[in-house]
């Protein structure tokens, strides 16, 4: 008897993946937050109309492909979610990109409830999902992996069992490190080429036959930039999410990823600039927009001498949150405090001193009277030039 399957999250990836399972003659029940996607799935021969909790009592394997870690956590662990309502023996496969820590948390709850969990993030984009050629990197028990391999072979072509729970996402986030950097690299290359009078078409043709060739550049150029159409695909918001997860993973392991961190900062600025819902290839548009701002960018060092140590202690979290917003808006170059307790220094990127002053006066440290400030234009001798 063929296995009965459930697929939760019929988005850009989930819908074509679930459709391929229907084509492979599985009985598949789809669930999506917005009902139009469920209708599209029913039109493709899938079934719908049952909740995740009901399906968790009935099917053999339940799969998810959801956007954010919070969605994944809610679907698996929420009161009306899969694990509190599922049956013993149920196999769970999560294709979403989330942190290895969240995978381990869900796997532990699944185990307690007598279920089995695999993290199985994918790579290869919507084209790979349509064609069933995704790479699938799986963490969890090998025996469970072997049991569901025929299903994984329908959605993907290159299927890997990496190791213990969470290890699929370790590899996936490392993949995203390079996707994020290559996205920024391809965007810079195209914008610089244009500024130097080389057409994007010529550049793509030549670089694709040279060492600069990259699968991400090729994807961004042929599927989006060339067509001047930026509907996702893979939303920039999701790549930003991945870079944030990556940053935490790298930090926990004590491994600096300077280029990855910088690519994450650029994505955050693009997100703040309104590009979040577009495809990640719109980083090209964002870089072009930045390049077209002809006004010169200058650096300003803002010295924040200690005024009230107690207040500084109290308002430090708010000050740091404020700086994070500035970083996301692309205004912050660096920040840090003096080890002797005398204050701190924030370096901003701005067009003029008035602009910096208007930002500094919103800093909770200044608003609350914890620090005073001095602004000095600063000549950067060596560092990131952007």
Catalytic residues: 172
**Distance in Å, CB of 11 to ligand NAD, minimum:** 2
Q: Is residue 169 near ligand NAD by the rule CB under 6 A? A: no
Q: Is residue 66 near ligand NAD by the rule CB under 6 A? A: yes
E strand intervals along 257-365: 298-305, 332-337, 343-350
For ligand NAD, what does the binding mask look like between residues 113 and 152, x meaning CB under 6 A?
Answer: ---------xx-xx--------------------------
Backbone phi and psi for residue 156, each to the nearest 5 degrees, phi listed first: -135, 170
Where do we find the tokens 């996205």?
Answer: 183
E strand intervals along the chain: 4-8, 27-31, 61-64, 91-94, 116-119, 122-123, 134-139, 156-163, 298-305, 332-337, 343-350, 374-378
| Sole window of 21-29, 66-74, 162-170, 335-343 interacting with ligand NAD (rule: CB under 6 A) | 66-74
Q: Is residue 330 near ligand NAD by the rule CB under 6 A? A: no
Q: Is residue 97 near ligand NAD by the rule CB under 6 A? A: yes
Residue 307 in contact with residue 372, Cβ under 8 Å? yes
Within residues 36-65, the interface with ligand NAD by CB under 6 A covers 37, 65
Residue 192 in contact with residue 158, Cβ under 8 Å? no
Within residues 67-86, the interface with ligand NAD by CB under 6 A covers 67, 71, 74-75
| Given 5, 7, 12, 83, the residue binding ligand NAD (CB under 6 A) | 12
For ligand NAD, what does the binding mask look like between residues 227 and 256, x meaning CB under 6 A?
Answer: -------x---x------------------
Backbone phi and psi for residue 137, each to the nearest 5 degrees, phi listed first: -115, 120
- The CA distances from residue 280 to 215, 235, 267, 369, in Å, are 14, 5, 9, 41
Interface ranges with ligand NAD (CB under 6 A): 8-14, 31-34, 37, 65-67, 71, 74-75, 96-97, 122-123, 125-126, 234, 238
């Amino acid at each position: 008897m063929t296995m009965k399957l459930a697929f939760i999250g019929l988005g850009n990836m989930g819908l074509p993946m679930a459709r391929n399972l229907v084509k492979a003659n599985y009985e598949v029940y789809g669930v999506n937050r917005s009902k139009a996607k469920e209708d599209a799935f029913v039109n493709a021969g899938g079934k719908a109309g049952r909740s995740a909790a009901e399906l968790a009592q009935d099917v053999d394997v339940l799969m998810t492909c959801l956007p954010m870690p919070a969605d994944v956590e809610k679907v698996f662990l929420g009161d009306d979610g899969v694990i509190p309502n599922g049956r013993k023996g149920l196999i769970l496969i999560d294709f979403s990109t989330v942190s290895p820590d969240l995978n381990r948390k869900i796997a532990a709850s699944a185990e307690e409830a007598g279920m089995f969990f695999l993290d199985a993030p994918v790579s290869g984009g919507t084209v790979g999902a349509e064609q069933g050629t995704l790479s699938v990197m799986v963490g969890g028990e090998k025996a469970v992996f072997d049991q569901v391999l025929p299903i994984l072979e329908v959605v993907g072509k290159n299927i890997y069992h990496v190791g213990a729970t969470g290890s699929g996402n370790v590899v996936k986030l490392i993949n995203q490190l390079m996707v994020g950097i290559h996205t920024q690299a391809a965007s810079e290359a195209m914008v610089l080429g244009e500024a130097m009078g080389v057409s994007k078409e010529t550049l793509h043709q030549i670089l694709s036959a040279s060492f600069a060739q990259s699968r991400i550049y090729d994807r961004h150029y042929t599927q989006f930039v060339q067509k001047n159409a930026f509907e996702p695909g893979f939303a920039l918001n999701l790549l930003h999410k991945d870079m944030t997860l990556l940053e935490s993973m790298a930090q926990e392991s004590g491994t600096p990823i300077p280029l990855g961190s910088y690519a994450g900062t650029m994505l955050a600025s693009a997100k703040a600039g309104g590009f979040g819902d577009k495809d990640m290839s719109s980083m090209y548009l964002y870089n072009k927009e930045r390049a077209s701002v002809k006004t010169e960018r200058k650096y300003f060092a803002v010295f924040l001498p200690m005024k009230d140590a107690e207040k500084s202690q109290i308002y430090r979290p708010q000050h740091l949150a404020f700086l994070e917003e500035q970083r996301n808006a692309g205004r912050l170059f660096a920040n840090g405090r003096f080890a002797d307790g005398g204050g701190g220094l924030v370096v901003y990127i701005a067009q003029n001193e008035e602009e910096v002053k208007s930002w500094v006066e919103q800093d909770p440290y200044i608003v609350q009277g914890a620090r005073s400030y001095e602004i000095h234009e600063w000549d950067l001798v060596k560092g990131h030039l952007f």
